[in-house]
Amino acid sequence: MADAAIAEWDVKYQTPIDLWRPVSAIREGLRDTTWKPLSGTTPCSPAWASGHSAFGAAWARIMRQYFKTDGITTSFSQAAREEADSRVWLGVHYPWDASDGLTLGENVATWVFTHKMKSVGS
């Protein structure tokens, strides 16, 4: 998850993509100054990509690869997807922030697992 955090902050600040948060887009772009996200507050970093999505996806991918299954009592992938979706419902991310965060986290976790970890029974 630490590697996912590093990759996440790199895409937030080391790329030309600098998206407003939904609250700013709605208030400024759509001129609805009364709209508020469900969370009540919004992070002050760029929207793209979702850090929570990247962290959840990295965790889920490592768990799937380590245990060689996507579910113990529930699906690791589903848990990561629900975490990503929660950021959209809270109003702090766009759907593409969540999807791209999931992809980023999975890619980081796949690299970490392939290069640094071994699965059960290896």
Q: Quickly count: other Cβ atoms within 10 Å of residue 53's Cβ.
A: 30
Q: What is the residue-wise DSSP string for 82-94?
A: HHHHHHHHTTSS-
pLDDT tens digits, one per residue of 10-54: 999 998 888 888 888 888 888 888 887 887 778 888 889 899 999
75 bridge partner residues: 71
Read off the pLDDT of residues 54-90 as tens digits, 9 standing for 90 and up: 999 999 999 999 888 997 778 999 999 999 999 988 8
pLDDT value of position 24: 83
Tokens of 116: 């640094």
pTM above 0.85, yes or no: no
User: How many Å apart are CA 104 and CA 106, to the nearest integer?
Assistant: 5
Q: What confidence score (pLDDT) does residue 72 get?
A: 78
- 112: amino acid identity, one letter: V
Residue 114 in tokens: 């392939």
Rounded Cα distance between 104 and 38, Å, is: 25
Q: At what angle do helices 76-89 and 51-67 cross, to 10 degrees?
A: 170
